[in-house]
Amino acid sequence: MAQSVAGGTGDVFAPGHIGELTQVIPPELVDAVLDETGAREQRLRILPSRVGVYFVLALGLFGHLGSGLVWGKLAA
């Protein structure tokens, strides 16, 4: 199970919590691509494959900020 939001019961990797990229690239599309390419995780991990895809996309958009700040933008 993914981490819970501090003080709440929500899944931090739920579609509404992984940034505004989910409004442009729907989680269902990312999941379909991961399934089609066989790139989905085999075991439950702290960082699911879907989140990794959004992180890489965000790195492309905000590469000048560095990975720590990009993660902060993505998880905000």
**Summary mean pLDDT of the chain:** 81
Structure pTM?
A: 0.74
- pLDDT in the model for residue 37: 96
* pLDDT over 90, % of the chain: 37
Tokens of 34: 């991961």
N residues, the chain: 76
Helices (H) and strands (E) in the chain, counts: 4, 0
